[in-house]
Amino acid sequence: MKEKTAIIIGAGLAGLATGIYAQINGYKTHIFEHAPRPGGVAATWKRHGYTIDGGIHFYMGFKPGQPMHALYQELGIDQPDQYQEMDIYGRFVDPIKNIRIDLTQDLNRLSSDLKAIAPDDSAFIDRFIIGIKAFKGGNFMASMAKPPELTRPWDIGKMLWSIRKILRYYSGAYAQPINRHTQTIKSQTLKEFIEHIFLPDVPVWFVLFTLGMFSSGNMALRRDGSAGFVRALEQRYLSLGGQVTYRTRVEKIITRKDRAVGVELKDGEKELAGMVVSAGDGHATVFDLLGGRYVDANIKKRYQEWPLFPSVVLASYGVTRTFDKDPWNIVLKSPTLIPTGFMMDNWMPVRIFNYGDGFSPPGKTVVQVMISSQWDPWHTLRRNEDAYRKEKEALSRQVLESLGHIWPGLDKDVEMTDVATPHTWWRYTLNRKGAFEGFAVTHTAINTKIYRTLPGLDNFYLAGQWNTPGGGVLPTFMTGRHAVMLMCKHTGRKFTTVS
Name the residues that contact ligand FAD, by CB under 6 A: 9-15, 32-35, 40-42, 54-58, 249-250, 279-281, 429-431, 436-437, 464-465, 471-473, 476
Residue (365 or 476) nearer to ligand FAD, CB: 476
SS3 for 250?
strand
User: Rounded to the nearest whole angstrom, what is the least distance from the CB of residue 387 to ligand FAD in the complex?
Assistant: 25
Residue (143 or 465) nearer to ligand FAD, CB: 465
Residue (182 or 248) nearer to ligand FAD, CB: 248
Element (H, E) at 17: helix 13-24
Residue (318 or 464) nearer to ligand FAD, CB: 464
Spatial separation of the C-alpha atoms in residues 79 and 86, rounded to whole Å: 16
Residue (191 or 351) nearer to ligand FAD, CB: 351
Residue (192 or 281) nearer to ligand FAD, CB: 281
| 249 neighbors 266 (Cβ within 8 angstroms) | yes
Residue 40: closest CA among 428, 422, 462, 483: 428
User: Rounded to the nearest whole angstrom, what is the least distance from the CB of residue 467 to ligand FAD in the complex?
Assistant: 8
Strands 414-420 and 460-462: unpaired
* Backbone angle region of 363, left / alpha / beta, with phi > 0 → left and psi within -120 to 50 → alpha: left
User: Rounded to the nearest whole angstrom, what is the least distance from the CB of residue 33 to ligand FAD in the complex?
Assistant: 5
Measuring CA to CA, how many Å separate 321 from each of 324, 359, 414, 493? 9, 13, 9, 56
Spatial separation of the C-alpha atoms in residues 20 and 98, rounded to whole Å: 50
| 319 neighbors 367 (Cβ within 8 angstroms) | yes
| 56 neighbors 82 (Cβ within 8 angstroms) | no
Residue (57 or 379) nearer to ligand FAD, CB: 57
User: Rounded to the nearest whole angstrom, what is the least distance from the CB of residue 374 to ligand FAD in the complex?
Assistant: 16
Residue (191 or 481) nearer to ligand FAD, CB: 481
Residue (185 or 276) nearer to ligand FAD, CB: 276
Residue (5 or 278) nearer to ligand FAD, CB: 278
User: Rounded to the nearest whole angstrom, what is the least distance from the CB of residue 30 to ligand FAD in the complex?
Assistant: 12
User: Rounded to the nearest whole angstrom, what is the least distance from the CB of residue 140 to ligand FAD in the complex?
Assistant: 12
| 6 neighbors 21 (Cβ within 8 angstroms) | no
User: Rounded to the nearest whole angstrom, what is the least distance from the CB of residue 290 to ligand FAD in the complex?
Assistant: 11
User: Rounded to the nearest whole angstrom, what is the least distance from the CB of residue 73 to ligand FAD in the complex?
Assistant: 18
Q: What is the 3 state secondary structure string of 57-121? A: CCEECCCCCCCCHHHHHHHCCCCHHHEEECCEEEEEEECCCCEEEEEECCHHHHHHHHHHHCHHH
Strands 28-32 and 243-245: parallel
Helix, strand and coil content of the chain, in percent to the nearest 5, comes to: 40, 20, 40
Strands 414-420 and 219-222: unpaired
| 399 neighbors 379 (Cβ within 8 angstroms) | no
User: Rounded to the nearest whole angstrom, what is the least distance from the CB of residue 157 to ligand FAD in the complex?
Assistant: 28
User: Rounded to the nearest whole angstrom, what is the least distance from the CB of residue 359 to ligand FAD in the complex?
Assistant: 14
